[in-house]
Amino acid sequence: METALTELTGVRHPIVQTGMGWVAGPRLVTATARAGALGILASATMTADELRAAVVKVKSRTDAPFGVNLRADAADARERVRIIVEEGVRVASFALAPSRELIAELKDAGVVVVPSVGARRHAEKIAAWGADAVIVQGAEGGGHTGEVATSVLLPQVVDAVDIPVVAAGGFHDGRGLVAALAYGAAGIAMGTRFLLTSDSPVPDPVKAAYLAATVGDVTVTTAVDGLPHRMLRTDLVASLERAGRARALAEAVRRAARFRKLSGLSWARMVRDGLAMKHGRDLSWSQVLLAANTPMLLRAAMVEGRTDLGVMASGQIAGMIEDLPSCEDLVRRVMSEAHHVLRTLPSPEGVGPWP
């Protein structure tokens, strides 16, 4: 199935595996790339040296195209861009809108630039700055999310920009791919669905918690870091939501002490990171500490398997996922379903399927 996304990136199928911190490492990205979809390495939870090593590892395992997700506001963003260019990575993805200068630098080096956005105005801005494509995530998506559903946001963005649009938030099968194409998208991006594969490095007990979740068990909360964050509802999340300011601060300090030992970060560094996130937002001091530790809260679950100490970012679609296929089987299944749906759609005249 050729679309503007496959033509732009060189992958066989119009499917993107998103860059999930602590999850989208060389193992998952290699499996995705081998399956013919676009795997994205998550670099925000890696040092620059770890990023280069991860890129080299994927390149040693497959010749297929893949990408790297960057934080545009990282202090060493330009160093990471240099790694992408030097290692010949095909795609650069961004969780926050990159600057016009960063986009130009990557494009001049032949790298395809595909930022992720959650609002039409952001898509319009990065399109005007020269981005090659855009991933647009609706409210159903996991992690930090907005309020507008994919079915409303996607056509808005498709109508507003003249670059390929990839739909994210609420996708897990071939029916969703066909629906996205009908809206005018060039493909779909999936996070939770790729997290729940046999190629994902997430510990089995954590995967089991996702598989056991219903749609109602996936919630949006601001209790973790002051921003709307979609995740599985757990006892930790519930306790943060119930806690008063004094108790929340005490709990944040206690957890911060645990994560400081795990991460090796100093108290001063953690507070600086939290204050950077507090800038321009109305966060309590407990949220400042938790904001600085959000990556470590995710790590506790996604790497250590500690669902009692960590959070589990999740799209609403987790409530509809029931198995753990390999990336190869998942991509093959999505494409087979998509072709089947296209074949069985009624024709415009209402007589039989599409040719």
* Closest residue by Cα to residue 323 from 233, 210, 174, 170: 210
Structure tokens given for 328:
């190869």
Highest mean pLDDT among 99-103, 234-238, 307-311: 99-103
Instruction: Give the CATH number for residue 121.
Output: 3.20.20.70
Asked whether residue 312 is domain-assigned, the answer is no
**% of the chain at pLDDT higher than 70:** 85
Q: How confident is the model at residue 45 (pLDDT cuts 50, 70, 90)?
A: confident
- Least confident among 29-33, 332-336, 349-353: 349-353
Answer yes or no: do 143 and 25 share one domain: yes
Instruction: Please say whether the beta carbons of 231 and 221 come within 8 A.
Output: yes
**124, 99 contact by CB (below 8 A):** no
CA 349/CA 355 separation, integer angstroms: 12
Q: Would the pLDDT of 287 be above 60?
A: yes
Task: Tell me the pLDDT tens digit for each residue of 259-276.
Answer: 566 545 677 766 776 666
pLDDT classification of 242: cutoffs 50, 70, 90: confident
Residue 342 has pLDDT above 60, yes or no: yes
- On whether residue 311 sits in a domain, the answer given is no
Q: What is the mean pLDDT of the chain?
A: 90
Number of domains in the chain: 2
Nearest to 102 by CA among 68, 72, 125, 71: 72
Q: Is the pLDDT of residue 63 over 70?
A: yes
Question: Residue 27 — very low, low, confident or very high, per pLDDT cuts 50/70/90?
Answer: very high
In three-state form (DSSP H/G/I as H, E/B as E, the rest C), the secondary structure along 150-180 is: HHHHHHHHHHHCCCCEEEECCCCCHHHHHHH
Q: Are residues 92 and 237 in the same domain?
A: no
Give Dmax over CA atoms of the chain in angstroms: 69
Same domain, 81 and 159: yes
243 and 176 share one domain: no
Alpha carbon of residue 139 to chain centroid: 13
Range 178-189 average pLDDT: 98
pLDDT for residue 259:
58
**How far is C-alpha 267 from the chain's CA centre?**
28
Residue 136 and residue 257 in one domain? no
Is 149 in the same domain as 290?
no
| pLDDT tens profile 198-225 | 999 999 999 999 999 999 999 999 888 7
pLDDT band with cut points at 50, 70 and 90 for residue 239: confident
Question: Cα separation of 305 and 140, whole Å?
Answer: 24
Higher-pLDDT residue of 346 and 182 is 182
What is the span of the domain harbouring residue 251? 204-302
**pLDDT at residue number 105:** 96
d(CA 99, CA 148): 25
Does residue 120 register a pLDDT over 90?
Answer: yes
Instruction: Yes or no: say if 314 and 210 are a contact pair by the CB < 8 Å rule.
Output: yes
Q: Provide the pLDDT for residue 279.
A: 59
Q: Is residue 42 part of a domain?
A: yes
Residues 181 and 210 in one domain: no
How far apart CA 333 and CA 15 sit, in angstroms, is 12
Tokens describing residue 276: 């950077």
Helix H or strand E segment including 89:
none
Are residues 169 and 249 located together in one domain of the fold? no
